[in-house]
């Protein structure tokens, strides 16, 4: 074991101060030399997502103490998409990710702790924990803490995702919601994250695929025996990492990030994993363009399962069929199997212990559900920095769309455009000015998509935005997270009504069919609506958030992920080619 940075001379001021502070915690003087581990807990009473984390902490502490280390629980912010999205148009959701990273840094670096075990739950906690691991580079392990038992899995009418979709549709159609209120009472039957393959379960799988969680960790039912077994195995693996000085930057490499990208493409995971993985790469100092990795690897990565919301398969069925471990086993010919993991073994060595595909819930690479990517990254003259679309599995819909732009600055304006006839079949709706800076923190546009669907326009009107939408959305041609964002004075900011936009999901192109000299002569985009940020954290966030090409991290890392810091400043056709 290398020398522990947490061990100060017993006679030093810091050594004596620690002894004084820790003795009331039951820590004896002869224990002060042991490795000191931060248990990162994002528990909160605000949502079911993390309601069980406080129960995990004492078990984990007991396991770690038995293995000869000193555990210290620390707390961070705890955002839940369904709850924390209520204020400031949802701007606290993505921005909380980076707040959590800083929370971890303050506690771990300030106290000079030796290692981290992170209890990961809702959408933004897992990326935050991976980012913190990459930034701090002390031995770290991620424990995915599981998904909730849903009403749908119990034979009832709905899970929380279905409630969300139906309630959003009812808000547009003005239909009664009494039945939805009753269904909501039965939608969530246990603690844990949303049951579908949205961001939370996707990022849990990412943690395993990238090598930062024990094999077989995801997805997992919250509070199940498998989850508790993962907790115990994770404690042992972390101690092994400390003893052998295995650090996150040994594990998080360009190769392991590409493995995570392949895995997300194979399961049709959430589109949000792109920016989160890019942020992890930036924090870990890895020079890799995650957007381009999704774009290129998507053409050669088969889709091996069709889990809700992509298809009818429940996450429980996916877990029982082997989950991420089986996906990794089946994908191994396409993966970089020599990548190191938290077990001290390689990804390929871990995969040997996984069960093979059953051919039904999980298929082999020779007989996949689809060879069309469920996550499509597009580039072109409208999105030189990239954009993303989500597709169902299998995908029966059209792949191309060309039409005149109808430009809006808010989702409310766009929804009104449906009602007053401004939007017509064949149009391309554009909502801009709500990106990482403009939102700030990526404005949500799901309500507009639901409004299109409610009015029977989902397959007749294409949609392009620099904001984001729910991972549950995969109908119609819907393109989000366009980069450079509108406020950065990229091509999106210079789109005008009636400009022709072409979208091709087959080739991955998103083009604005306007001559470069015409675009260059147009006035710089200025938002018509002032967004209320409250004068606090969101204003600070807006000042230092980086573009999506850098994962929307806070502060420039000079990582090379973008060109001069927004491949963004409009410079005519050369910059946007």
The answer to whether 374 and 303 are in contact (CB under 8 A) is yes
Compute the distance between CA of residue 321 and CA of residue 50 in angstroms, rounded to an integer: 25
DSSP string, 88-140: GGGHHHHHHHHHHHHHHHHHHHHHT-SEEEEEE-STTHHHHHHHHHHHH-SSE
Distances from the Cα of 287 to the Cαs of 463, 498, 518, 533, in angstroms?
Answer: 32, 39, 35, 33
Compute the distance between CA of residue 159 and CA of residue 166 in angstroms, rounded to an integer: 11
The answer to whether 53 and 121 are in contact (CB under 8 A) is yes
Question: Can 470 be counted among the known catalytic residues?
Answer: yes
Q: What phi and psi values does residue 488 have, to the nearest 5 degrees?
A: -85, 5
Strand 478-483 relative to strand 140-144, pairing = unpaired
DSSP string, 164-195: HHHHHHHHHHT---HHHHHHHTTTB-SSSB-S
Question: Count of residues for the chain?
Answer: 577
Compute the distance between CA of residue 482 and CA of residue 466 in angstroms, rounded to an integer: 4
Compute the distance between CA of residue 475 and CA of residue 408 in angstroms, rounded to an integer: 21
Cis amide bond preceding 309, omega within 30 = yes
Structure tokens at 62: 């007991």
**List of residues 6+ apart from 113 with CB closer than 8 A:** 6, 36, 37, 38, 72, 107, 138
Task: Count CA within 13 A, CB hemisphere, residue 357.
Answer: 22
CB atoms inside a 10 Å sphere around CB 539: 11
Say which of 470, 483, 549, 576 is annotated catalytic: 470
CB atoms inside a 10 Å sphere around CB 349: 15
Instruction: Dihedral sign for Cα 62, 65, 69, 74, please.
Output: positive
Q: At what angle do helices 273-283 and 125-136 cross, to 10 degrees?
A: 20
Maximal CA-CA distance, the chain: 77
Among 82, 34, 64, 352, residue whose Cα is nearest residue 232? 64
Compute the distance between CA of residue 221 and CA of residue 200 in angstroms, rounded to an integer: 13
Compute the distance between CA of residue 359 and CA of residue 107 in angstroms, rounded to an integer: 46
Burial 170-203 (b: 16+ CB within 10 A, else e): bebeeeeeeebeebbebbbbbbbbbbbbbbbbbb
Annotated catalytic residues are 470
């Amino acid at each position: 074991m290398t020398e522990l940075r947490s061990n100060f001379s017993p006679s030093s001021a810091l050594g004596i101060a620690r002894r004084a502070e820790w003795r009331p915690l039951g820590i004896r003087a002869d224990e002060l030399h042991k490795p000191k581990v931060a248990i990162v807990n994002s528990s909160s009473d605000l949502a079911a997502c993390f309601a069980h984390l406080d129960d995990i902490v004492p078990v984990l502490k007991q396991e770690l103490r038995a293995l000869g280390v000193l555990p210290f629980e620390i707390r961070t912010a705890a955002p839940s998409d369904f709850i924390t999205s209520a204020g400031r148009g949802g701007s606290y959701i993505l921005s909380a990710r980076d707040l959590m990273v800083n929370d971890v840094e303050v506690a771990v670096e300030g106290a000079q702790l030796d290692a981290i075990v992170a209890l990961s739950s809702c959408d933004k906690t897992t990326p935050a924990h991976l980012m913190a691991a990459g930034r701090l580079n002390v031995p770290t392990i991620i424990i995915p803490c599981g998904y909730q038992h849903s009403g749908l899995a119990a034979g009832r009418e709905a899970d929380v995702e279905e409630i969300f979709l139906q309630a959003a549709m009812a808000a547009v159609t003005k239909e009664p919601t009494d039945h939805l209120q009753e269904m909501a009472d039965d939608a969530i039957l246990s603690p844990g994250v949303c049951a579908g393959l949205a961001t939370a379960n996707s990022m849990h799988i990412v943690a395993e695929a990238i090598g930062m969680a024990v094999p077989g960790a995801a997805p997992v039912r919250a509070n199940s025996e498998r989850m508790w077994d993962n907790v115990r195995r994770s404690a042992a693996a972390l101690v092994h990492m400390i003893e052998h000085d295995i650090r996150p930057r040994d594990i998080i490499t360009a190769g392991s990030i590409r493995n995570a990208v392949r895995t997300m493409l194979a399961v049709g995971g959430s589109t949000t994993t792109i920016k989160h993985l890019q942020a992890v790469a930036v924090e870990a100092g890895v020079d890799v363009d995650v957007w381009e990795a999704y774009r290129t690897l998507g053409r050669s990565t088969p889709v091996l399962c069709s889990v809700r919301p992509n298809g009818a398969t429940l996450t429980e069925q996916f877990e029982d069929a082997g989950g991420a471990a089986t996906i990794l086993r089946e994908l191994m010919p396409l993966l970089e199997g020599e990548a190191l993991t938290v077990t001290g073994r390689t990804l390929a060595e871990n995969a040997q212990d996984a069960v093979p595909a059953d051919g039904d819930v999980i298929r082999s690479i020779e007989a996949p559900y689809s060879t069309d990517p469920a996550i499509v990254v597009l580039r072109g003259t409208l999105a030189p920095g990239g954009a993303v679309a989500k597709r169902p599995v299998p995908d029966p819909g059209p792949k191309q769309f060309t039409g005149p732009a109808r430009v809006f600055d808010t989702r409310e304006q766009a929804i009104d455009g449906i009602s007053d006839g401004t939007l017509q079949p064949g149009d391309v709706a554009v909502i801009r000015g709500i990106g990482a800076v403009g939102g700030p923190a990526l404005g949500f546009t799901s309500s507009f998509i639901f409004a299109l669907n409610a009015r029977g326009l989902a397959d007749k009107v294409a949609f392009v935005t620099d904001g984001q939408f729910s991972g549950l959305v995969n109908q119609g041609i819907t393109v989000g997270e366009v980069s450079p964002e509108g406020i950065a004075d990229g091509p999106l900011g210079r789109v005008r009504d009636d400009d022709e936009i072409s979208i091709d999901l087959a080739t991955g192109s998103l083009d604005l069919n306007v001559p470069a000299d015409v675009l260059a002569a147009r006035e710089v985009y200025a938002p018509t609506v002032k967004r209320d940020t409250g004068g606090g954290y969101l204003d600070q966030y807006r000042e230092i958030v980086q573009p999506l090409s850098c994962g929307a991290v806070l502060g420039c890392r000079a990582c090379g992920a973008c060109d001069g810091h927004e491949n963004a400043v409009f410079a005519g056709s050369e910059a946007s080619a």
